[in-house]
Amino acid sequence: MILIAAVDKNWAIGKDNSLLVHIPADQRFFRETTTGNVVVMGRKTLESFPNGKPLKNRENIVLSRNNGFSPEGVTVVRDLPSLLEKISNYPKDTVFCIGGASVYKELMPYCDKALITKIDEAYEADAYFPDLDSDPDWELVDTSEEQTYFDLVYHFVTYERRS
């Protein structure tokens, strides 16, 4: 499974169930990378999408312990073993963990790659991605050239789990 996220310099990913910033190139990268694949998320992440609808042209799997939660167009799994069984049917390089914070943290041990958009800015936030720079199990393996969007500077970076 592959983690995919946009983080600020403090590894923040969101505030009030919204992204910290919308960068068109990052959104395009996310869309192009995940389209035709499987996306795994938590209930709040799904609810943060426009009209709470699943992402088009992707298999949407939501991890939620809420038994009353069963939106149209998504597969809901209630626990980690059920999720791992469900995604075992797919090649692992086609399954993307897309958040939120608690889902990233819970699924990180099952991931071996992370595609991160690192934004050189610090935002007020209430949701964070695990800090891969300080995690000895992960190493930075690729960094794009500097990207800019108005006055924002960011990089597309790739981390891989050390073997």
pLDDT at position 49 is: 94
Label residue 109 exposed, middle or buried (CB < 10 Å: 0-12, 13-18, 19+).
exposed
User: Tens of pLDDT along 61-114?
Assistant: 999 999 889 999 999 999 999 999 999 999 999 999 999 999 999 999 999 999
pLDDT at 163 over 90: no
Cis peptide before 52 (omega within 30 of 0): no
Alpha carbon of 83 to those of 1, 47, 49, 53: distances in Å?
12, 19, 21, 20
pLDDT value for 46: 96
Per residue in 27-45, pLDDT (tens digit) is: 999 999 999 999 999 999 9
So what's the pLDDT on residue 52? Answer: 92
Q: Cα–Cα distance between 115 and 113 in angstroms, integer?
A: 7
160 sits in which H/E element: strand 152-161
Domains of the chain: 2-161 (3.40.430.10)
Q: Return the pLDDT at 32.
A: 98
Contact 15, 101 (CB under 8 A): no
Query: Are 3 and 113 spatial neighbours (Cβ–Cβ below 8 Å)?
Result: yes
Residue 124 has pLDDT above 90, yes or no: yes
Mean predicted lDDT score pLDDT of the chain = 97
